[in-house]
């Protein structure tokens, strides 16, 4: 599989104490001309195990928004505006992304499990009752993992273009998947500085977003991430297959599948029906599953089609 397609699936697809943000490193400022600069101000900001958490609103149901690979909380700006008036919204940024410091040490270990643990701790320490996890790509995979870990405590999962197994690796053996993960990890970790920024720019314009101006602004922000951390997260997700645990997920799951017809030619003329069927296949065994298309959107569907995504989430929440 070409590396660009792997990036698509991933990005195409993610101590027991709360540290106040005053003692934590704040995100790198966004230049004023960047369209993602004007983000809602959080009511509270704190850290859990290196994961930045920003809280908005005080509504009775909690939503936990988890961005994907290389992304920060800015990807959820419109979602926060839409849902903070009626919900308590927690927006997280994982260590190593969006200018955040990566996990310490010479190696990153398994950052997926570290993020999984930090999110679990957020739910426990804030005593969140049946929170709804809304994840994009890597963040969606993390949401599915938590729904397996905490079947009685998760109220729902919204997965935006993120799956329990890396697309097109579902028939690989664990050994093959691990070998591929090691190769991609090494390839990605070798990128730095201008090379990493160039890769992010190319990715955002070809796979990330339909609007190229938005893609350019987004790439400036994703390029603030630590390349080694990005590589570690990529390897961690590539080597996983969460499908065996899907049957144990008790929470309802909404899978949102972006589709952009002009890209179909590159992807062997795949139709919207083909893509929906493929996602349903990879989610097979999930007891309470909805799969919906977001048309005219690439990987960052919540930025390409914010109204359609918000409407789908509202409809899902009303069923809970």
pLDDT digits (tens, 9 = 90+) for 39-51: 999 999 999 999 9
Above 70 in pLDDT, residue 195?
A: yes
In a domain, 25, yes or no: no
Q: 107-134, pLDDT tens digit by residue?
A: 557 899 999 999 999 999 999 999 999 9
Query: Is 294 part of a structural domain of the chain?
Result: yes
How many Cβ atoms are within 10 Å of 130's Cβ, its own excluded?
A: 14
59 in any annotated domain: yes
Residue 45 lies inside a defined structural domain of this protein: yes
Domain assignment of residue 177, yes or no: yes
In terms of residue numbers, what domain contains 140?
3-14+31-318
303 in a structural domain: yes
Tally of CB atoms within 10 A around 270: 16
* Residue 11: pLDDT band with limits 50, 70, 90: very low
Q: 3-class DSSP state for residue 27?
A: coil
Whole-number pLDDT of residue 192: 78
pLDDT at residue 310 greater than cutoff 70? yes
Select from 132, 131, 144, 94 the least CA-distant residue to 114.
94
Residue 19 lies in a domain: no
Q: Which two tokens stand for residue 215?
A: 């893609």
CB 276 within 8 A of CB 257: yes
Query: Which residues lie closer than 8 Å to 318 by C-beta, 6 or more apart?
Result: none
Contact between 144 and 43 (Cβ < 8 Å): no
Residue 217's CATH number: 3.40.50.1820
- Answer whether residue 23 is part of any domain: no
pLDDT in tens, 206-255: 999 999 999 999 999 999 999 989 989 999 999 999 999 999 999 999 99
Q: From CA 213, how far away is CA 271, in angstroms rounded?
A: 26
Domain count, the chain: 1
Across the chain, the runs of DSSP E, i.e. the strands, are 19-20, 44-48, 51-56, 62-66, 88-93, 132-136, 156-160, 253-259, 289-295
- Residue 22: closest CA among 47, 40, 54: 47
Burial of 129 per CB tally in 10 Å (0-12, 13-18, 19+): exposed
Residue 311 neighbours by CB under 8 Å, 6+ apart: none
Q: What is the mean pLDDT of residues 170-186?
A: 88
């Amino acid at each position: 599989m070409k590396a660009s397609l792997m990036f698509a699936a991933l990005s195409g697809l993610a101590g027991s104490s709360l540290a106040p943000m005053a003692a934590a490193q704040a995100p790198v400022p966004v230049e004023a001309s960047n369209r993602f600069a004007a983000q809602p101000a959080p009511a509270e900001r704190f850290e859990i195990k290196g994961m930045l958490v920003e809280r908005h609103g005080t509504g009775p149901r909690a939503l936990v928004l988890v961005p994907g690979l290389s992304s920060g909380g800015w990807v959820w700006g419109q979602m926060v505006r839409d849902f903070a008036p009626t919900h308590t919204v927690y927006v997280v940024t994982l260590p190593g992304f969006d200018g955040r410091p990566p996990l310490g040490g010479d190696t990153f270990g398994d950052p997926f499990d570290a993020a999984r643990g930090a999110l679990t701790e957020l739910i426990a320490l804030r005593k969140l009752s049946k929170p709804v996890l809304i994840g994009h790509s890597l963040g969606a995979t993390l949401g599915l993992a938590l729904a397996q870990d905490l079947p009685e405590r998760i109220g729902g999962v919204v997965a935006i273009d993120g799956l329990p197994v890396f697309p097109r690796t579902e028939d690989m053996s664990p050994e093959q998947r691990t070998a591929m993960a090691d190769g991609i990890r090494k390839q990605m970790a070798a990128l730095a500085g201008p090379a990493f920024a160039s890769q992010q720019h190319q990715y955002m314009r070809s796979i990330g977003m339909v609007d190229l101006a938005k893609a350019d602004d987004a790439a400036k922000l994703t390029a603030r991430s630590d390349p080694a951390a990005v590589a570690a997260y990529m390897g961690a997700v590539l080597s996983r297959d969460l499908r065996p645990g899907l049957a144990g997920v008790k929470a309802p799951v909404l899978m949102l599948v972006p589709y952009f017809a002009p890209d179909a030619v590159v992807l062997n003329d795949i139709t919207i029906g083909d893509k929906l069927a493929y996602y349903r296949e990879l989610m097979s065994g999930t007891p309470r599953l909805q799969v919906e298309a977001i048309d005219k959107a690439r990987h960052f569907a919540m930025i390409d089609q914010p109204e359609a995504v918000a409407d789908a989430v509202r409809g899902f929440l009303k069923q809970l």
